[in-house]
Amino acid sequence: PANGFAFYKMEVGRAGPPARANLATEMADAIEVNTGPMWLRISKKEVAIPGELFIDRNGDGRFDDSERLILPSQPGDCWWQGEKEQYTLQFSGEAVDGQAPGVRIERNGPESAVVRILGWHVAKDGRRPAFSEVRIEVSRGKAWLNLWHRVTFAGNPWRDRIKSYGLTLRFKPGLYE
């Protein structure tokens, strides 16, 4: 208060709420993320963006095949189209800014998590004209995600041209028919 005093009294009381578990779990071959109403599995061995995705439609806290929304990605689902050929995203090649290609948990906490996917777009002859960085961000209690996809051109500007690039999402057949 203005020109006044405030007195506070502190008492020992009950402990706060129990700590919540982090949303993302690193496994040997994948990273699994559980927000409550959504479960996501991102492979560390194959490029899978965003990976297998399930929505808990009946609210029972379990995820079965009837609640699958997105199927695992296939090779070539993250692509960069040049003038004459298509380049597929792969976890091979040198590191960029000290980060080797692959899948890793970038941020993990009880309220939100970010999974980062890095890789090179590789041609059949081994050329790598572009580098992709994908971030998938999720929040506790939410059945949606944010996905950012950035492509950095690293090719020869006189030889390598981009016509298009993108991601293919494989929704479960019959879901929207």
* CA 168 to the chain's CA centroid: 14
Per-residue model confidence as pLDDT tens digits over 51-61: 899 999 999 98
pLDDT of 1: 58
Continuous segment of H or E residues that includes residue 89? strand 86-90
38-66 burial by CB neighbour count: b if 16+ within 10 A, else e? bbbbbbbebbbbbbbbbebeeeeeebeee
Give me the phi and psi of 145, to 5 degrees please: -140, 160
Per-residue model confidence as pLDDT tens digits over 109-139: 999 999 999 998 888 888 888 888 999 999 9
pLDDT of 177: 63
Q: Contact, 15 vs 120, CB < 8 A?
A: no
Q: What is the pTM of this model?
A: 0.83
